[in-house]
Chains A and B, each alone.
Chain A
Amino acid sequence: MAERPEDLNLPNAVITRIIKEALPDGVNISKEARSAISRAASVFVLYATSCANNFAMKGKRKTLNAGDVLSAMEEMEFQRFIAPLKESLEVYRREQKGKKEARKDKDKKADSEEQDKSREDDNDDDDERMEEEEQNDEEEVDN
């Protein structure tokens, strides 16, 4: 793989904040401990991805979906995460739906006002959906 693990780190500030909020007031965390937790979280995502991908492949799907990730949690023995994850997902779906509708209404309004409105800024919706145009089989296979 071209990426080194250091490039796949999660932002320190966010990790630190999550840790601090999980612990009682007045508790600190050493830099080494924070760093170790951060790297562990990266490993967690990598492993969960791999696990989830197995479920996607089992279902003959090429796209990893939320259900696959939840199945991975079960598989990795993090069942206690499943309920809060489902709740978060519901909130997320509602937010995304609201955003889409807000954008549609905005576009409708703008269209009726300006006929030449450019649609360039709608592309961030597509950018958020991850796609790999070039599969690795054309590049190096370092397995």
Chain B
Amino acid sequence: MGVAAEDAGGAGPCAGAARAARLPLSRVKALVKADPDVSLASQEAVFVLARAAELFVETIAKDAFVYAQQGKRKTLQRKDLGMMLCWFSLFSFLGTLD
């Protein structure tokens, strides 16, 4: 289950980066379990994966926004993600996500 950020022991200098995962660990766990080669994963591993996925989302959104800005738009559209989709075609062995 997700850990509440409020429990992070007071105002730390690294509050932003060290914020606890907001993605529910149970869903991330389901993704990890989907891999037939993985037998066990520690709770910490699932946590780090969840946090990494969040960082990934942030990164993709920011990168895509650059394209939206060039198009003088304030709404991120699918076409702004074009670069990223090329990256994902590399991982098509994981199955079609359409």
Q: Using a CB–CB distance below 8 Å, which chain A residues touch chain B?
A: 1, 3, 5, 7-11, 14-15, 17-19, 21-24, 26-30, 32-33, 36-37, 39-50, 52-53, 57, 62-66, 68-70, 73, 78, 81, 83-85, 87-96, 98, 128-132, 135-136, 141, 143
Interface residues on B, range: 35 or more
Q: How far is the CA of A68 from the CA of B41 in the complex (A)?
A: 10
Interface bits B16-31 vs A (CB < 8 Å: 1, else 0): 0111111111011111
Query: Closest residue to B32 on the A side, CB-wise?
Result: A49
Considering the complex, give the chain B residue whose CB is closest to the CB of A132. Answer: B39
Known: A3-B34, A65-B45. 19 other contacts (CB 8 A): A1-B34, A7-B30, A11-B24, A30-B76, A40-B88, A43-B97, A45-B31, A45-B49, A49-B41, A50-B35, A62-B40, A65-B44, A78-B55, A85-B51, A89-B48, A92-B3, A92-B47, A128-B25, A135-B39
